[in-house]
Amino acid sequence: MSGKLDFTQEVQQIARISKALSHPVRVYILQKLSKMDSCCYSGDLVEELPVGRSTLSQHLKELKYAGLIQGEINPPYIKYCINRENWEKAKKLLDDFLNDNKSLNISCEETESLIRK
């Protein structure tokens, strides 16, 4: 293989979602929001999580960047909800990835080459 591998949009999405899921606080937030019928204020989350407000803000930012949540600003409060459309897409994407890695179109040789770099 010559040159650098261009990652597909699908591979990039899986990486973005995986990064969002890589911290227990973010997983907790997603679990909580996915079970709610309404949105949750970030202040409510601060009271039940063992992190400060600025740390929580960074976690919410990462989840929002991955497209898994959306925020609604109602000064001075911000409400967060699961982005239902993207949540369903993420579940399908991860399910496909975990159940059939062939869909990613990455050969073993390409993977080994990336690991060695």
- Residues 72 and 111: their CA atoms lie apart, in Å, by 40
Q: What rounded mean pLDDT belongs to the chain?
A: 86
SS3 81: strand
Query: Which pLDDT band holds residue 4 (cuts at 50, 70, 90)?
Result: confident
Which residues are registered as beta bridge partners of 77?
Answer: 74
pLDDT > 70? residue 51: yes
DSSP structural state of residue 68: S
Sign of CA pseudo-dihedral 113, 19, 6, 85? positive
**Quick one: which of 97, 26, 38 has its CA closest to 66?**
26
pLDDT per residue as tens digits for the range 54-109:
999 999 999 999 999 999 888 888 899 999 999 999 999 999 988 875 555 566 66
Distance CA 53, CA 75 (A): 16
Q: Which domains does the chain have, with CATH numbers?
A: 9-116 (1.10.10.10)
